[in-house]
Structure 1
Amino acid sequence: MGQKLTATSTAIIDAEPAAVWAVLTDPELLSQAFFGAKVETDWQVGRPITFSGEWNGKSFQDKGEIVAVEPNRMLRFTHYSPLTGQPDLPENYHTVTFDLTPSGGGTELTISQSNAGSEEERKHSEANWAQVLKSFKQLAER
């Protein structure tokens, strides 16, 4: 196996970290940012998180576990999608981190996703996270 890569996307959002955090932890708003996926969790460390919906005409149910929660600062969870075609093994899970940093009167939001298996997968993930950031910006700034 080759070196695993990390996809990273960052945006400045003209809203306080608490407003960005509210989007991140509100299931209805998060669904809007996550391409309509239904997100279910209680945001407690060690608890499950699931994502369900449709992507490119295929139904999916992704899963993971909440790894770290620091309100208004950072959220980290693992993520596995059967759509990858990879077996449900720990080495096939990504770790997704949302870092919120105050920036002027707003928030710098960085999303990183570790364990990309190829440069193509890394670029694909970065493009998806860039779209998620656009949605976060729109939702938090309104």
Structure 2
Amino acid sequence: MNKEIKYSISKLVNAPKSIVWSVILSPDTYKEIWAAEFSGSWEKGRAFSFSGEWDGVPYQDKCSVIDRHDEKLLVYTYWSSFWNVPQREAESCIIKYEINELDEHSSELTITQTGFRDDTHYAETVTLWEDTIDFMKRVADKLYLESDS
């Protein structure tokens, strides 16, 4: 795992941070965008996993929450069975979700990954994070619009 490589993407979300936070923590988000089942806890120091099938291959991603500040920050380690390496800290990357409230109606969501296996992993992950942040924005925008009616 090359932990010198980092990727970050940000989006303006037309929703307050509480709604963005609820989208980040919702198992339905990951079921919809990644076809993944969430199991475990988002609490600091706790483990969780995503499992499912990707391109016909079953997988299990194992994670552990490093830091959490409600409606502001979630940081966790991430290891995937796709990588065919032992599950240990040196083989895990770090995923970070940050929410910056701009005003009572909008926020900026930033997703950052630190650590990549290789150039192929980087390219695939960039596409995954672009799709993920677009999905999270759409869901949060819609939830806020519906709550305002």
* Residues 60-114 of structure 1, C-alpha deviations (whole Å, 9 max, x = no match): 1110111111111010111100101222221110110001111343111111111
Considering only CA atoms, is the larger Rg found in Structure 1 or Structure 2?
2
SS in 1 for 2:138: helix
1:64 is matched with: 63
Q: How does 1:1-142 map to 2 (within 5 A)?
A: 4-33=4-33, 35-104=34-103, 105-142=105-142
Q: Which amino acid aligns with 2:133?
A: L
* Alignment TM-score, normalising by the size of structure 1: 0.90
Shift of 1:31: 2.4
CA RMSD across the alignment: 1.7
SS in 1 for 2:24: helix
* Alignment TM-score, normalising by the size of structure 2: 0.86
Structure 1 residue runs of 5 or longer lacking an equivalent are none
Q: Which amino acid aligns with 2:135?
A: S
The answer (yes or no) to whether the contact 2:3–2:114 under 8 Å persists in 1 is no
Count of aligned pairs between the two proteins: 141
2: CA distance between counterparts of 1:57 and 1:103? 41
Structure 2 residue runs of 5 or longer lacking an equivalent are 143-149
